[in-house]
């Protein structure tokens, strides 16, 4: 089905951590939203692919997503290959988003920057009519989203713009905590990781407050734009 906004992520929970408040807000404004995870996150220290899939399903239900799919690329080892680009092109052409969100341009986890570059290249190629793809036995039409925005993850990057997610922050955190194998509070007996402590939950709130403060609100999510943003009226303050 067609969606207005399609968010791509290297791993299940990337979107929940960095952009779910924005998706929830856009959905509240009447837009349709979907997520495409490139991998199952199977190399994560905690949990496994099956558990992460169940957690992603729970988070999707909280967000009431119109679409969520997993492209089953190998976690940690996916490449900027033709086959992977074609998988993404097929997804973009299938869902025909006006806007896509992608991983941060660089980050602590090397998958994040690589996923961003992979999706960015595929989004351009998706608009070329001489690249032929099929879905359900039907030839797909070319489609290129109007804009690509990159969400900010572990490493701080100065945002080009900030979305006020204050009314949606608690629901965002419910989406994050759906991944009980990964984060504090899930009673996991597996090894501790940099994201499994209570301090990481404090960090998520602090980051949202830090970014929100830039625009004078309680909680925000920041994004980097790949193209100049269009301003129609200098006096139309948000």
**Percentage, residues of the chain above pLDDT 70:** 98
Q: Does position 112 have pLDDT exceeding 70, yes or no?
A: yes
CATH code of 51's domain: 3.40.50.10320
- In-domain check, residue 72: yes
Distance (Å, rounded) from C-alpha 50 to C-alpha 47? 8
* Contact predicate 9/141, CB 8 Å: no
In a domain, 237, yes or no: no
At residue 216 the predicted structure's pLDDT band, cuts being 50, 70 and 90, is very high
Does the pLDDT value for residue 185 go beyond 80? Answer: no
- Give yes or no for residue 238 having a pLDDT over 70: no
Query: Is 234 a member of any domain?
Result: no
Q: Look at the chain and report how many structural domains it folds into.
A: 1
pLDDT for 209: 98
Express each pLDDT in 167-183 by its tens digit: 999 999 999 999 999 99
Distance between CA atoms of residues 1 and 181, nearest Å = 31
Q: How far apart are alpha carbons 94 and 135 in whole angstroms?
A: 7
pLDDT greater than 70 at residue 186: no
Residue 131 lies in a domain: yes
pLDDT above 90 (res 136): no
* pTM for the predicted model, two decimal places: 0.95
227: confidence class by pLDDT, cuts 50, 70, 90? very high
**In which band, very low, low, confident or very high, does the pLDDT at 134 lie, cut at 50, 70 and 90?**
very high
Say if 168 falls within a structural domain.
yes
Write out the residue range of the structural domain in which residue 25 sits. 5-225
Q: For residue 185, is it within any domain?
A: yes
Dihedral sign (CA 111, 116, 120, 126): positive
Note whether residue 232 is domain-resident. no
Tell me: the pLDDT tens digits for 1-60?
899 999 999 999 999 999 999 999 999 999 999 999 999 999 999 989 999 999 999 999
Q: Classify the phi-psi angles of 212: left when phi > 0, otherwise alpha if psi is within -120 to 50, otherwise beta.
A: alpha
Q: Alpha carbon of 173 to those of 20, 68, 138, 170: distances in Å?
A: 9, 19, 39, 5
Any domain includes 231: no
């Amino acid at each position: 089905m067609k969606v207005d906004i399609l968010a791509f992520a290297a791993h299940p929970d990337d979107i929940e951590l960095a952009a779910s408040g924005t998706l929830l807000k856009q959905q509240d404004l009447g837009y349709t939203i979907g997520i495409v995870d490139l991998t199952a996150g199977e190399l994560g220290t905690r949990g496994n692919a099956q558990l992460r899939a169940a957690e992603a399903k729970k988070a999707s239900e909280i967000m009431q997503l119109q679409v969520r799919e997993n492209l089953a690329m190998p976690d940690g080892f996916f490449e900027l290959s033709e086959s992977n680009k074609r998988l993404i092109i097929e997804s973009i052409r299938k869902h025909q988003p006006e806007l896509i969100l992608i991983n941060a341009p660089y980050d602590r986890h090397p998958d994040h920057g690589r996923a961003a570059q992979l999706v960015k290249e595929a989004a351009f190629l998706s608009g070329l009519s001489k690249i032929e793809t099929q879905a359900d036995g039907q030839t797909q039409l070319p489609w290129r989203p109007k804009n690509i925005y990159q969400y900010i993850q572990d490493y701080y990057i100065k945002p080009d713009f900030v979305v006020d997610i204050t009314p949606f922050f608690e629901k965002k955190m419910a989406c994050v905590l759906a991944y009980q194998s990964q984060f504090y509070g899930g009673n996991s007996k597996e090894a501790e990781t940099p994201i499994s402590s209570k301090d990481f939950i404090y960090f998520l709130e602090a980051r949202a407050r830090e970014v929100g403060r830039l625009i004078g609100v309680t909680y925000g999510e920041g994004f980097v734009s790949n193209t100049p943003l269009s301003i129609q009226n200098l006096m139309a303050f948000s």
